[in-house]
Structure 1
Amino acid sequence: MPAISKKGVAMPESPIRKLVPYAEDAKKRGVKVYHLNIGQPDIKTPQIALDAVKNNTIETLSYARSEGSETYREKLANYYVKNNIPVNANNIIATTGGSEALLFTIGSITDPGDEIIIPEPFYANYNGFSTASGVNVVPVISKIENNFALPKIEEFEKLITKNTKAILICNPGNPTGYLYSEEEMDKLKALVLKHDLFLIADEVYREFAYDGLKHTSVMSIKGLENNAIVIDSVSKRYSMCGARIGCIVSKNEAFIKTAIKFAQARLSPPTYALLASEAALDTPQSYFDNVIEEYVERRNTLISALEKINGVKVAKPKGAFYCVAQLPVKDSDHFAQWLLESFNYQNETVMVAPASGFYSTAGEGKNQVRIAYVLNKQDLLNSVKILEEALKKYPN
């Protein structure tokens, strides 16, 4: 039998999606499943974006430009300028989701065997994208005890080697919901300039900053023009996960010229999705104001309820719409599967994402889960009640 590649064997499973068959089986048995496992908002997509696709007069659905249409990139640049990110259309490459933006970025700045330092827990697919490129993830652990704040900069520095090419952060964070302060960003700036590294910031949750806190984009920090790379997406901002439109933003001309070659190799992002994404940029501020208010209420509802469960510790998110909860269990992978296979409370159960998949350090996160508060407040309360009852009955 022909052999599978070592890279393919090493490719990690998604901690978010690997339990889907168990959830589907539970539903077939008539059990209602509350999906807390995936960041699929239930917020409605702006009507203006949907109408752009429904009401267009395209007769031939042709290729878009490899880097995305000029009108979209110019309009997108205006959005960034309004958010204190001074860029122009030539600094932007439209991609098929933030995922492709990350793949193009890693492909443009690393060679096999190179290293990227990432604070963990981190978005699980960072592991997958790095494995696909033959790149090694070097983790620096953040702790639930201090709300997953940026680890000490000395912890980053002692991990830097001749193979280190970049530091990658998610801000606000997935899975933690942590929002890096301006002071923390300045510390990273000093480090990457000292060692001549790229600082990649996944900023897809930029709008979701709570409690009066402000998001600090890596692209708004003076002096990082040649080092900063932003990964972005319309998926969460406009509740358009299915559009699969993201982008790379950078003022480093050599990097952009290189990334465009990757964009050309895959031809173009999807034309209809570009139309919807361009129209979405006209979404009124009131949409975001209402969404942020809703997520703050959901966050407060969820965290308050979780904190009342004996033995549960939870970090309070400052942004995005995720939290990491530490449970009184030894193996959250087993617990998450058990919830779907063997447990229900009043014919209902919950699906969570085991947090070990958001770490690359072996053994970390084994008693933690990521919860996405993308459901309405009553569903969140129901979910926490189910979780509480499950912990009472789980044969730990």
Structure 2
Amino acid sequence: MPKISQKGQLMPESPIRKLVPFAEQAYKNGKTVYHLNIGQPDIKTPELALDAIRVHSLDILAYTRSEGSEGYRKKIAAYYAKNDIHVDHDDIIVTTGGSEALLFTFGSIMDTDDEIIIPEPFYANYNGFSTASNINVVPVISKIEDNFALPAIEEFEKLITPKTKAILICNPGNPTGYLYSKEEIQKLAKIVIKHDLFLIADEVYREFVYDGNAFYSIMQEESLKNHAIMIDSVSKRYSMCGARIGYMVSRNKEVIKTAMKFAQARLSPPTLAQIASEAALDTPQSYFDDVIAEYTERRNLLIQELEKIEGVKVAKPKGAFYCIAELPIKNADAFAQWLLESFDINDETVMVAPAGGFYSTKGVGNNQIRIAYVLKKESLIKAVGILKEALKVYKD
């Protein structure tokens, strides 16, 4: 029998999706499952984005330019300018989701066995993208006791080798909800300039910032002109995960020129999704005001309820719509599966994402879960209540 590749064997399973078969079986058994496991917003997609698809006048669903249509990229640049991020439309490549933007970035700046430093816990698919790109993740651990703040710069410097090519952050963070301050971004800027590295920032949750805090993009740091690569996406901003439209943005002309080769190899991003995403850029500020107000209430309620559970430790998010909770258990994978297979209250149970998959350091995060607060407040209260009762009877 032909053999599977080593790379294929090393590709990690998604900690978010690997429990889906157990959830499906729970549904077949007549249970209601409250999904705290996946960042699929329940906020409605802006109508103007949906209308743009409904009323399009295309006769042929043709390719667009490999870098995305020029008109769309000009509107993206105008959106960024409103957010004090000043780039030209030629600094932007439209991609099939933020995932492809990351793959283009890795392919453009790193060779086999090169290293990328990432504060962990981090978005689980960074592990998969790194494996697919034949590069190595070097983690620097941030701690729940510090609310997952940026580790000391000295910790980064200890890890830099001749193989190090970049530092990657997610800001605001998935899975932690941590928001990096301007001061923290400037500390990272100094270290990447000092060691001639790239700083990659996944900024797809830019709009989701709470408590009057200010978001600061790496693209606002002028010293990073040739070092900064921003990853972006419409998925969470406009509740358009299925559009699969993202952006790779950099003022470094060589980076964009190189990434264009990857863009050309896959021909073009999806045409209809670009039409919808371009229309979404006209979404009024009132939409985001309402969304932020809703998520702030959900976050406050979630943290309040989790803190009532004995033995649970939780970090308070400043952005995005996730939090990490540490539970009084040994193995969150086993606990998450048990919740779906063996526990319910009146035929209702909860699906969570074990946090071990958001680390690359073995054995770290095994007693943690990621919670996405993308449910209505009433459902959040029910879900946390089920979690509380489950922890009372669960045995590792």
- The TM-score, its normalising length taken from structure 2, stands at 1.00
State the Cα deviation string for residues 110-169 of structure 1 (Å, max 9, x = none): 000000000000000000000001000000000000100000000001100000000000
Query: Alpha-carbon deviation of 1:170?
Result: 0.1
Unaligned runs of 5+ in 2: none
Query: Alpha-carbon deviation of 1:393?
Result: 1.1
Q: 1:319-334 residue pairs with structure 2 within 5 A? A: 319-334=319-334
Query: Alpha-carbon deviation of 1:41?
Result: 0.3
Tell me the distance in 1 between the aligned counterparts of 2:134 and 2:28: 40
Name 1:188's counterpart in structure 2. Answer: 188
* 1:269 maps to 2:269: yes
Name 1:344's counterpart in structure 2. Answer: 344
Tell me the distance in 2 between the aligned counterparts of 1:35 and 1:100: 26
Query: Alpha-carbon deviation of 1:71?
Result: 0.4
- SS for the counterpart of 1:304 is helix
Q: 1:75-86 residue pairs with structure 2 within 5 A? A: 75-86=75-86
- SS for the counterpart of 1:223 is helix
Name 2:202's counterpart in structure 1. Answer: 202
Query: Alpha-carbon deviation of 1:388?
Result: 0.4
Name 1:239's counterpart in structure 2. Answer: 239
Tell me the distance in 2 between the aligned counterparts of 1:6 and 1:159: 26
Q: 1:367-382 residue pairs with structure 2 within 5 A? A: 367-382=367-382
State the Cα deviation string for residues 233-259 of structure 1 (Å, max 9, x = none): 000000000000000000000000000
Query: Alpha-carbon deviation of 1:278?
Result: 0.2
- The amino acid of 1:73's aligned partner reads R
Name 1:251's counterpart in structure 2. Answer: 251
- The amino acid of 1:137's aligned partner reads V
Name 1:315's counterpart in structure 2. Answer: 315
Name 2:149's counterpart in structure 1. Answer: 149
- SS for the counterpart of 1:139 is strand
- SS for the counterpart of 1:151 is coil
Unaligned runs of 5+ in 1: none
Name 1:2's counterpart in structure 2. Answer: 2
Q: 1:1-396 residue pairs with structure 2 within 5 A? A: 1-396=1-396
Query: Alpha-carbon deviation of 1:346?
Result: 1.4
Tell me the distance in 2 between the aligned counterparts of 1:231 and 1:55: 30
Query: Alpha-carbon deviation of 1:192?
Result: 0.1
State the Cα deviation string for residues 313-333 of structure 1 (Å, max 9, x = none): 000000000000000000000
Tell me the distance in 1 between the aligned counterparts of 2:90 and 2:243: 22
Runs of 4+ aligned structure 1 residues displaced above 4 Å come to none
Cα RMSD, aligned residues only: 0.4
Query: Alpha-carbon deviation of 1:88?
Result: 1.0
Tell me the distance in 2 between the aligned counterparts of 1:314 and 1:64: 45
- The amino acid of 2:85's aligned partner reads I
Tell me the distance in 1 between the aligned counterparts of 2:197 and 2:3: 37
Tell me the distance in 1 between the aligned counterparts of 2:43 and 2:257: 36
Tell me the distance in 2 between the aligned counterparts of 1:351 and 1:258: 41
Tell me the distance in 1 between the aligned counterparts of 2:59 and 2:390: 54
- The TM-score, its normalising length taken from structure 1, stands at 1.00
Query: Alpha-carbon deviation of 1:395?
Result: 1.6
Tell me the distance in 2 between the aligned counterparts of 1:49 and 1:137: 37
State the Cα deviation string for residues 189-230 of structure 1 (Å, max 9, x = none): 000000000000000000001000011100011110000000
- The count of corresponding residues between Structure 1 and Structure 2 is 396
Query: Alpha-carbon deviation of 1:33?
Result: 0.3
Identity, in percent, stands at: 73
Tell me the distance in 2 between the aligned counterparts of 1:104 and 1:39: 23
